[in-house]
Amino acid sequence: MQAANRLQKSLRKGTPSFGAWQMLPGTNLTRVICRSAPNIDWLLIDLEHGNLSDDSMHEIVAAAAACGVSPIVRVPEGQHWMIKRALDSGAHGILVPVLETVDDAKNIARYSKLPPTGNRGFESLLAVEKFVEQHPHGGNVRQLTGREYAQQANDSLVIAVQIETKGALENVKEIAAVPGIDVLFIGPFDLGMNIGHPISSPDEMDQELVDAIQSIHEAAQEAGKATGIYCDTGEQAKEYANRGFHMVSAMTDMVGICKVFNQAFNAAK
């Protein structure tokens, strides 16, 4: 499984991993995004804020995996059934928003792991084919068996939690220490609002928010965990990667489409 999970491989090596963000439905869009650049390691499938159904999630997970890009599902919140649905679809990992406490983090880890580590129910029929190892131009196909999935899933799936609330920030060191949590992922816009320093422009942050982001990064480093962050541009993504962040988004479908259309029609005036 780890051989097919680009995000996991990158995190294990400690190198930056760049991702795209999909909020709009459609597997044609998924394939366009995933094939737009060779250094897209993961695609975030946004069930929290995106216009995506459970059916859409399953189809997008399959399309991204077929393109050799790790599908990561952001569930609406850390409920057991939501995590189970995402992982059973074959997602290579999950991102869980709006947690507040250490107990929240422990529950997320427990819901994400198969027994005896956790209490995730086992059903691999849809999941195994999202970890196929195959040369992109054909050749032999190596697909996991259900037994192999069960043996490898606990160590091969990426479990990320979003640090975006005041409570999570106050408890960040304890959250980072929870076994089974791999990534502390920063949502700067929500974090800024929740600590009283909203972002007025993507390029401008109050010093208190800058300090909060750095404290999360340091807590992750001390616990031997990876740090992720949402970025609106490739330039921002490069800056955070250079600062040692590991899981960095570089573009969202709705942002990119709007930007490219705006540039084209301004040029056409």
Q: What is the mean pLDDT of residues 170-175?
A: 98
Residue 40, token pair as written in the block: 């897209």
pLDDT of residue 141: 66
pLDDT of residue 138: 60
Percent of the chain surpassing pLDDT 70: 96
* Cα Rg of the chain (Å, integer): 18
Judged against a pLDDT cut of 70, whether residue 136 lies above it is answered with no
Residue 46, token pair as written in the block: 């946004």
Q: From residue 114, give the alpha-carbon distance in Å to each of 86, 87, 153, 186.
A: 14, 11, 8, 26
Residue 120, token pair as written in the block: 């995730």
pLDDT of residue 143: 78
Q: Which residue has the higher pLDDT, 134 or 119?
A: 119
Judged against a pLDDT cut of 60, whether residue 121 lies above it is answered with yes
Judged against a pLDDT cut of 90, whether residue 139 lies above it is answered with no
Judged against a pLDDT cut of 80, whether residue 261 lies above it is answered with yes
pLDDT of residue 203: 74
Judged against a pLDDT cut of 90, whether residue 62 lies above it is answered with yes
CB neighbour burial string for 40-64, b if at least 16 within 10 angstroms, e if fewer:
bbbbbbbbbebebeeebbbbbbbbb
Map out the domains of the chain with their CATH numbers: 2-268 (3.20.20.60)
Q: What is the pLDDT of residues 215-237, one digit of tens each?
A: 999 999 999 999 999 999 999 99
Q: Which residue has the higher pLDDT, 88 or 200?
A: 88
pLDDT of residue 201: 75
Q: What is the mean pLDDT of residues 116-132?
A: 91
- Calculate the average pLDDT of the chain: 94
pLDDT of residue 200: 81
239 pLDDT tier (thresholds 50, 70, 90): very high
Q: What is the pLDDT of residues 188-205, one digit of tens each?
A: 999 999 999 998 876 788
- The catalytic residue among 49, 137, 217, 246 is 49
Q: What is the pLDDT of residues 26-45, one digit of tens each?
A: 999 999 999 999 999 999 99
Residue 82, token pair as written in the block: 């939501």
For the whole prediction, is pTM greater than 0.85?
yes
Question: Quick check: is 49 catalytic?
Answer: yes
Q: What is the pLDDT of residues 145-168, one digit of tens each?
A: 899 999 999 999 999 999 999 999
